[in-house]
Amino acid sequence: MKQRLSNPSSIVITGASSGIGEALALLYAAPGVALALTGRDSARLETVAQRCRAAGARVDTAVVDVADRAAMAEWLARVDAADPVDLLVANAGMSAGTGDGGETEEQARRILAVNVDGVLNSIHPLLPAMRARRRGQIAVMASLAGFRGLPGAPAYCASKAMVRVYGEALRGDLAGEGIGVSVICPGFVKSRMTAVNRFPMPFLMETDAAARVIRRGLERNAARIAFPWPMMAAVWLLALLPPSWTDGPLRRAPRKP
Residue 242 CB: number of other CB atoms within 10 A?
7
CA distances in angstroms from 22 to 89, 183, 244, listed in the order given = 11, 18, 40
Whether 156 is catalytic is: yes
Q: Spot the catalytic one: 28, 147, 156, 166.
A: 156
Catalytic residues: 156
